[in-house]
Structure 1
């Protein structure tokens, strides 16, 4: 599997999708999903131009962290348990999976202890699948209001995981809906959040996600091939 070629091809596909949506390709961030990927192959992706990597599991993130160049941004894209926050709070650049107040409270406490404000995305379960984490859209604005006291947590946008489908068009409505929520919350002008990032789209559907407004896409298999356990 030629990682360098795969990165080049993914970037080409992102550019094509961006142009279809009258958007600038450079406004879209690729997060290479490195779950189960060894450091040597992650370095191949970095050498090919990847500047953001995303891990699903804290234990794996911590194990690899010291081997990744400092200039590469680290994303935690999987479900985060409160008892694991302390291991990453001083290392992570963006958490994609804030989905409950207990996690916000722990993030706030741990971030205050290390003297930083931790950037997060709220995970929204647009499809309402029981197997997925995330806030339902009906609860989203109430959840945002409840985050106001946490001065060391800064919401930077929204994330969702679409239902798995072999047909990208089947998931377009979920991406369109999250973009609507993103825009509505941005218009509300909450003083304690910044609606900057819309993280949606993976290997199966990232082009549709870009067409619907994603500015972060999380791509694993299209870069590293089939390797998940």
Structure 2
């Protein structure tokens, strides 16, 4: 099936109030254009320099999502244009985003990443770590960041009950902390090609889908 047909299929399995981020990492600009021409505007990359390289070659109204682990020294490459940073997993990173957003006279939408998987390779706050950070530092003082919600990645496993349990855990964290941030804190980014249907059932508002749209990754 073509990228256009794949996109249509995924969109039919979601609802209009869910943001579909087409994960275009490792994909050529021509693939992104094909998806864009089919009406897709939200695209996700996991490397800041790849995102910085692609952005000038593509339409200005694309909303770029930085979905990968974010190194502090790379924030400056995407701060001028990024739509949303999904993986804020430390106060130091948040401070750097604040600094670079202020330099560019922007307010950048961000999500707090939580570690919900049973795999140790995933990044993100534990719930306890997050509450420690909030006690020591007021994230709401970072005026050039708008915290919009939470993000998490489930364990890469065939065990659907485990995936569901992990997504449910992220939704519980969201419910516990949302009142600290106010009404704009309304997004839950979870679910990828292999598990987005479960994520939607468990409350996802943003899903990050790559291979189901673009096919297997190019390395």
Same fold, judged at TM 0.5 (above): yes
SS, match of residue 184 in structure 2? strand
Map 1:39-50; keep pairs closer than 5 Å: 39-50=29-40
Instruction: Supply the distance in 2 between the matched residues of 1:190 and 1:163 (Cα, whole angstroms).
Output: 28
Aligned residues: 217
SS, match of residue 58 in structure 2? coil
SS, match of residue 53 in structure 1? strand
Structure 1 residue 163 corresponds to structure 2 residue 155: yes
Structure 2 unaligned regions, length at least 5 = none
Deviation at 1:67, TM superposition (A): 1.8
SS, match of residue 86 in structure 2? strand
Q: Give the structure 2 partner of residue 74 of structure 1.
A: 64
Deviation at 1:144, TM superposition (A): 4.0
Structure 1 residue 225 corresponds to structure 2 residue 218: no
Deviation at 1:128, TM superposition (A): 5.1
Q: Give the structure 2 partner of residue 4 of structure 1.
A: 4
Aligned-pair Cα RMSD in Å: 1.6
Structure 1 residue 174 corresponds to structure 2 residue 166: yes
Structure 1 residue 149 corresponds to structure 2 residue 134: no
Deviation at 1:109, TM superposition (A): 1.1
Q: Give the structure 2 partner of residue 190 of structure 1.
A: 181
Conserved 8 A contact 1:168-1:204:
no
Conserved 8 A contact 1:166-1:204:
no
Conserved 8 A contact 2:147-2:181:
no
Structure 1 consecutive aligned stretches of length 4 or more whose deviation exceeds 4 Å: none
SS, match of residue 66 in structure 1? helix
Structure 1 unaligned regions, length at least 5 = 15-24
Instruction: Supply the distance in 2 between the matched residues of 1:107 and 1:169 (Cα, whole angstroms).
Output: 36
Q: Give the structure 2 partner of residue 61 of structure 1.
A: 51
Conserved 8 A contact 1:126-1:160:
yes
